[in-house]
Structure 1
């Protein structure tokens, strides 16, 4: 009789636990996998670590964020697919890679679309980007938590020729990421775009496979492109953000107080990243000068004019008015 009563009590407790989520289940720490594509000391990854620190401290032990830098879990495209299946909870990556799953995101890589940093940040939190994000969540189950992770402003470098206007690039091979908008941007600037994998770019520059490339100043400095490039032209042709995306199933399953913790940590990560990146851009340009690079102030207006027809080439993918709506944000 005592044994039977004990079994009934255990059964009753088990049913009650499952019905209420279970005390043990509720207290269990959930490990949150967060993938970033950059080196551990890159501002983007430092920001991801700050996010993890805040969530781990303020979630009451319910969440433990683990950051995996330098594409440890796969390249951004592969990781987004893992987020879609729920195998990875969060990712940081470019709007270009995200556009492989929702094409309109590529508008954020359009050359000379943004007047300045403030315009970029306003666009990243605008209704336009929110509409695109909503489509991504509906179609792919990926929720964009922020599109304001500043990655940097892209500039042109060359091996042995200073560039002042698009006509100076005629006949020159300039490496571009193998993404349609990047290839079109380099073509509009006057050069012949040449896709080279990022991992192969340093050697391609050293061996003269390409005459030049374009990247943000911290990338040019960190990857020592100054060893193979003499000139840096401050073209500022792209102002870039990365996004932080999450599995919508995972995020939407969080309690309201945990969502607030995550959202607060995202805000803190954005601020830290953007402050660090802006400082690096200024400091590292000085370093590049000291390392022997010659800084050229080109005719930016001429490059702007050369690239003004790029949005029209992508209307089918981005939507007819998407670039215009972003350009008009004040």
Structure 2
């Protein structure tokens, strides 16, 4: 069943990208402008946000007969991700595809998603974020920030560890490694609980930090490791699959409410289709000989953790992260975290 859904995801992704590239021109002048921020290059075949933005732009403009003009601003042109979340909230721009790290400055409780080793496989992440839990999280974001969420995208798949010192095959191999993290307390707590030394470094500085030894390693999904060329400065890749952090696709609520019912329907459909396209592209990149795991294997030693090894890592990190979430967000955060874990269990048993 899961293989069927996954195949459908890839077919839908390919169809959406093809449609976006072959869409006819719009009739009439645009009445409304939607400025869309995303984090990477505006290339639908290079990265997930590029695919998402391209598909969304095409489907919105064609579906509204050009009444909405989508203008994309890739690669952080409008500022740092956290700053652009505020631009979306205030209506300076209309929409953004944000990292969890960027979104956390506006909605800190997004950190409940940082439970380590929570997901058994990638298809389960889609079921959780497209299902009742995703709706609950979106509603809570709306209530606390006033930002409407269009959906949750795939930022590259599961996070894995890389480093330049040694292969990580056991918990003891983490001892003393300086691991770059985002500035999220949950990420730093997890790395610390595993026996390594968390080192918060801005994304723009990570390659240099790894090259110079300021950090020994880092953690990211395979597509990001590949396009950031970390294989040039890292010798070991450990397929740990310890985290999944989605993109949060936000839209200004006042702008959304100002649209006609038909336009809102097009926006919703286009965002969903774009998210499917991004997911499919990430799986393709992850597996490709030129840009994915096979390419990284050419000059990195790759090791896949066994279930038993993952269980040891999970037992070491999970209590510390759960305690942090409970301390930081109280009963409300604990309840949201438990709802998240319950949704994963339900999806895993389907």
Please give the TM-score of this superposition, normalised by the length of structure 2.
0.83
The structural deviation recorded for 1:123 is: 2.0
The structural deviation recorded for 1:120 is: 1.4
The structural deviation recorded for 1:187 is: 1.3
CA distance in 2, matches of 1:161, 1:97: 31
The structural deviation recorded for 1:150 is: 4.5
Equivalent residue, structure 2, for 1:110: 115
Equivalent residue, structure 1, for 2:333: 319
Equivalent residue, structure 2, for 1:288: 296
1:165 and 2:174 aligned: no
The structural deviation recorded for 1:326 is: 1.4
Equivalent residue, structure 2, for 1:186: 191
> How does 1:243-254 map onto structure 2 within 5 Å?
243-254=248-259
Secondary structure, counterpart of 2:125 in structure 1: helix
Structure 1's consecutive aligned runs of 4 or more residues displaced over 6 angstroms after TM superposition are none
The structural deviation recorded for 1:122 is: 2.1
The structural deviation recorded for 1:158 is: 1.0
Q: Which residue, 122, 127, 133 being the options, matches 2:132?
A: 127
Secondary structure, counterpart of 2:120 in structure 1: coil
Contact preservation (8 Å) 1:149, 1:243: no
Contact preservation (8 Å) 1:151, 1:242: no
The structural deviation recorded for 1:88 is: 0.5
Contact preservation (8 Å) 1:96, 1:109: no
> Which consecutive unaligned segments of at least 5 residues does structure 2 have?
1-27
Q: Which residue, 33, 51, 60 being the options, matches 1:31?
A: 33
The structural deviation recorded for 1:121 is: 1.6
The structural deviation recorded for 1:102 is: 2.1
1:42 and 2:44 aligned: no
Contact preservation (8 Å) 1:149, 1:241: yes
Contact preservation (8 Å) 1:174, 1:193: yes
CA distance in 2, matches of 1:92, 1:223: 19
Please give the TM-score of this superposition, normalised by the length of structure 1.
0.87
Contact preservation (8 Å) 1:159, 1:229: yes
CA distance in 2, matches of 1:132, 1:104: 10
Equivalent residue, structure 2, for 1:205: 210
CA distance in 2, matches of 1:148, 1:36: 12
The structural deviation recorded for 1:240 is: 2.2
| Structure whose alpha-carbon radius of gyration is higher | 1
Contact preservation (8 Å) 1:36, 1:93: yes
Equivalent residue, structure 2, for 1:259: 264
Note the alpha carbon deviations across 1:282-307, whole angstroms, 9 max, x for none: 220000012x1010123222212212
Secondary structure, counterpart of 2:87 in structure 1: helix
Q: Which residue, 81, 91, 106 being the options, matches 2:96?
A: 91
Secondary structure, counterpart of 2:165 in structure 1: coil
Note the alpha carbon deviations across 1:118-142, whole angstroms, 9 max, x for none: 2212221343343332232233221
1:100 and 2:88 aligned: no
Note the alpha carbon deviations across 1:223-268, whole angstroms, 9 max, x for none: 1111111110001111221011100011111111011111111121
Count of aligned residue pairs for this structure pair:
304
The structural deviation recorded for 1:204 is: 0.9
> Which consecutive unaligned segments of at least 5 residues does structure 1 have?
1-25
- Are residues 202 and 150 of structure 1, via their aligned partners in 2, closer, same or farther at CA, if it must alter by over 3 Å? closer
1:297 and 2:297 aligned: no
- Are residues 282 and 28 of structure 1, via their aligned partners in 2, closer, same or farther at CA, if it must alter by over 3 Å? closer
1:174 and 2:179 aligned: yes
CA distance in 2, matches of 1:150, 1:122: 16
Note the alpha carbon deviations across 1:271-323, whole angstroms, 9 max, x for none: 11101101111220000012x10101232222122122112221142612222
Q: Which residue, 230, 239, 260 being the options, matches 1:234?
A: 239
Secondary structure, counterpart of 1:66 in structure 2: strand
